[in-house]
Amino acid sequence: MRLLLIEDDPLIGKATQHFLVSEGYAVDWVTTGSDALLSVRTHEYATILLDLGLPDMDGHEVLGKIRRSGITTPILILTAREAVSDRIYNLDSGADDFIIKPFDLHEVCARIRVAIRRAQGRAEECLQVGAVSLLPSRRMALVNEIEISLTRREYMILYTLMSGEGKVFSRSQLEEALYGWGEEVESNSIEVHVHNLRKKLGKKIIETVHGIGYKTGSGVSE
């Protein structure tokens, strides 16, 4: 899952990025509206976090431009303005949610999960494929109710595939979801993570679609 963080304040931006990365997300952090617009055109994001006070343009303008270009990615507003009129205006101009500063990063994560879930049209928090269930709120994978420990990359690949509900993801799409800018991608890393996931959760959990990529399998262990 790749997130775009648009925040001009380095104090907030850096900490938020690190926190979200440690949660397993790939996070692109930009500090200007024009960089943000460039990023949304070149990458596909699971959620966009948008601060309203940007140096080069107003956050509302960025919001409007993203929505006018037909991108439906959930957008979460980070704002210090709490007036009801501001909130209504933001929601009406295409934002999906807003968080008032100073925010709690755990809450930000929860709201990101909600945004992703809603964008995928799911009402249930828990994802289920066969015997494998995934609890994004606790970043936990269970096989037959037994918790399986996963690295954050393994978790994120599983989260991406399971929330795709049988959709096929190419290797580069998975790399997109896993690695932010500036993160080194080893040539066979996806294969390694998939291999490890199969070892931990059973072979049937991920199917290889030859020449294209991966999708969730039946999940039934052998």
Residue 18 CB, nearest approach to another protein (Å): 5
Nearer to another protein, 80 or 126 (CB): 80
Q: Find out whether 76 and 46 touch, Cβ atoms under 8 Å.
A: no
Residue 23 CB, nearest approach to another protein (Å): 8
Which residues in this chain contact another protein in the complex, by CB under 8 A? 9, 11-12, 14-16, 18-19, 22, 53, 78, 80-83, 86, 100-106
Nearer to another protein, 71 or 105 (CB): 105
Residue 122 CB, nearest approach to another protein (Å): 26
Nearer to another protein, 82 or 165 (CB): 82
Nearer to another protein, 14 or 41 (CB): 14
Residue 59 CB, nearest approach to another protein (Å): 11
Torsion of CA 57, 26, 93, 77, to 10 degrees: -80
Q: Is the dihedral of CA 116, 214, 195, 18 positive or negative?
A: negative
Residue 35 CB, nearest approach to another protein (Å): 19
Q: Which long-range contacts (CB under 8 A, 24 or more apart) does 198-207 make?
A: 200/148, 200/150, 200/154, 201/132, 201/141, 201/143, 201/148, 201/158, 202/131, 202/132, 202/143, 204/130, 205/129, 205/130, 205/132, 205/158, 206/161
Nearer to another protein, 32 or 133 (CB): 32
